[in-house]
Structures are given as C-alpha cells and as structure tokens.
Chain A
Amino acid sequence: MKKECKDCGAELTIPQDSMVGEIITCPDCGTDFEIVSKTEDTVEMKEAESVGEDWGQ
C-alpha cells in the first residue's frame, strides 16, 4: 500500500504484513509515522512520538 508523507510529500510504502503500532520511516525526510489503524485497503497513520532520554535497550 502507498501513502503520502504528511511532512514532505514523498511516497511511503506500507508493507502488506505491517501491523498497528509499527513505525514507518519516510525514506526522504526521516519522519517516523506510527500505524494507528489498518484494514484491507486503508491505513491511518500519525506522527510517532520522538525517542527521549530514557529509550532503548
């Protein structure tokens, strides 16, 4: 599935097997989007929260 980056307009490819909660990174501007809902042929995304001081393992 294809979607347009809200920040820079680049084309985002959403893999078929992607799931709600997954992060899609824009190949052009690097913005991270989180998938908030997904059906057969629609996908809703919002800008993912940024990684703060205490992230990571």
Chain B
Amino acid sequence: MVRICIIYDKLRFEEKKIYNDIQQKGFEATLVDGKSLIFDTESSKSDSRFGDIILQRVISYNRGLHLTYCLEQMGLPVVNSSSVSEICGNKLITSLILKKNGVPTPKTTFAFSTESARECMKKLGYPLVVKPIIGSWGRGVYQIKDQSMAEMMLDSRQENDNSFSRIYYFQELIDRPSRDIRCIVIGDQIVASVFRYSSENEWRTNVAVGGRTEMAPLTSELKEIVLKASNAVGGGILGVDLMEDKERGYLVHEVNNTVEFRGASAVCKSDIAGAMTDYLVKMSSK
C-alpha cells in the first residue's frame, strides 16, 4: 500500500482535505509538522515516517525549500521538487524562466540597490508595479503611480534589513479586467481554472485580500499556455496565475508552489484533492 506523507507548518483547509482524501482512497497518510523535524548528514531513507512519497505543503518558502533539500538528500521523492520550489518561490527566477521558455509574461525589470531602483523607476515611468521577490497573498505588491510614491516605497524598503528587500522587482502595469485567472495543474492535467475578481476598492485579486472566485472556461489557448508555464518551471502540483492583457491576451505572472485551492474547490466541480492523491500515488512508483 502506498504511504503518503504530508509535511506542513500550518494545517489549512487544503492539507486536511488531501489527508482525508488519501485515506478515503485506501492509502496510508501521515501528517508531519515540518517545524519539528531534525536532520543530519547521516539521515537515511529508512525513516518510516516519510512513507513512499512526500507532499511538501510547508507555507514558509525558506523552510519548505530547505526541508526539501534534506528530504531529497535522503533519496525520498518530494512533490514539488527542490528545483521547482526554488523557481516558483522567487518571482525574479520565475520571470526569467518563463521568458526563456517562451511563455508570455509581463515585462519585468530588476534592480539591486536603492540608487539603481530610483533610477530604474524614473526611466520606466509611472504607473508601475513593485513586488517583493519572495512572498505572496498580495503582500507588498503595490502600484506606484508617481515619484512621491516611489520615494515612499524606497524609504520603507530601506527600513527593512532583510537582504531580499534590497532586490527590486518592477513590472509594467497590465491593462486587464478586474480579475485574473488561477489554473491548478497536476502533472500534465489542468484540474481547475477560476477567475478571481478583486473586491471593491482593491486592485489585487488575491483571495487573501478579498478576491472572489468564479469558474473560468478552459479554452485551448489557455490550456496551452498554462501547460507550457508548468513545464517551464519543472512540473508537479502547481497554481499558474495569468492576467488577460487587453491587447496581448494571456500573460503568466506567477506560478505557485504550494497551491491553495479553497477558493477554486468551492466553485469547481472537479475533485482537486483527489487528483493530487492520484498523482502522488503515480509518482511514488516512478
């Protein structure tokens, strides 16, 4: 019998749902708190807690990534792999990889100090979008409308002594409807596609800031771009996010690594957790 281990740091709707689904399908599931784990250079595969395959569901990017390195070192299969996590957890790397693989994506500019960020914004002109390269739920994603907002943003970044706050990610503001699209990809299958409409007085469409989900039709064009994006980052269980540019059509702006699907599962008929279980079972024997 296949044994699947779910590693988490905070148990959300999604982890519980997958855990229950694995058991309902007659497989063995274990939940392991990533915060409690200890590894050493001698750690080996014989640790039975981890079963045959591990589903990495840790929310903290750094913790999840480093745990995955340790688990992979022990020879255990982890979904998603460390290389996928590395790419998806970092918006700068994601943008580069998407572009390199011919996936349509917004034009994005990077700067590596306050001075060059200031110069960069002057050159690009306003409005523009700034994002932290690591992080999510729409946190720290702002529209910069003029130079005074640019200076405010630079000030607040300087107050933060995190090394990532010295890396600037500027993106063209996409002219789009008040929604974006989230597609959940599992292996080579798209199991759900939803529109996320932003709430009133909010520009970001994240569910975490009040975004409302509705089912979105999966057109063949959308399908092709989403699978291309998922393959570009290395594949696995992913959430591909796109915007609809009024002129250029679909643009992929990010690929999520431990995808949340509470919003999507409320409006989609497809069994997202079930498809994840099937995929894990399949991957455990590869």
Range of interface residues on chain B? 20 to 34
Give the chain B neighbours of A54 by CB distance below 8 A. Answer: 60-62, 89, 134-135, 164
- Flag if B10 contacts A57 (CB, 8 Å): no
Known: A53-B162, A56-B139, A57-B239. A21 touches B134 (CB 8 A): no
- Flag if B11 contacts A55 (CB, 8 Å): no
When chains A and B are docked, how far (Å) is the Cα of A21 from the Cα of B239? 24
- The stretch among B104-112, B253-261, B268-276 that forms the contact with chain A is B253-261
| A55 CB to nearest B CB, Å | 5
Known: A54-B135, A56-B139. A23 touches B260 (CB 8 A): no
- Flag if A21 contacts B59 (CB, 8 Å): no
When chains A and B are docked, how far (Å) is the Cα of A49 from the Cα of B208? 19
- A contact patch SS: loop
Within 8 A of A (CB), among B7-50: 8, 10-11, 15-16, 31, 33, 35
Is there a chain A Cβ closer than 8 Å to B114's Cβ?
no
A interface list, Cβ under 8 A from B: 19-23, 34, 48-49, 52-57
Question: Closest 4 CB pairs between A and B?
Answer: A56-B136, A21-B11, A54-B61, A56-B137
B interface list, Cβ under 8 A from A: 8, 10-11, 15-16, 31, 33, 35, 59-62, 89, 132, 134-137, 139, 162, 164, 208, 239, 256-260
12 additional contacts (CB under 8 A) given A22-B11, A23-B10: A20-B11, A21-B8, A21-B11, A21-B15, A49-B35, A54-B134, A54-B164, A55-B59, A55-B135, A56-B208, A57-B59, A57-B257
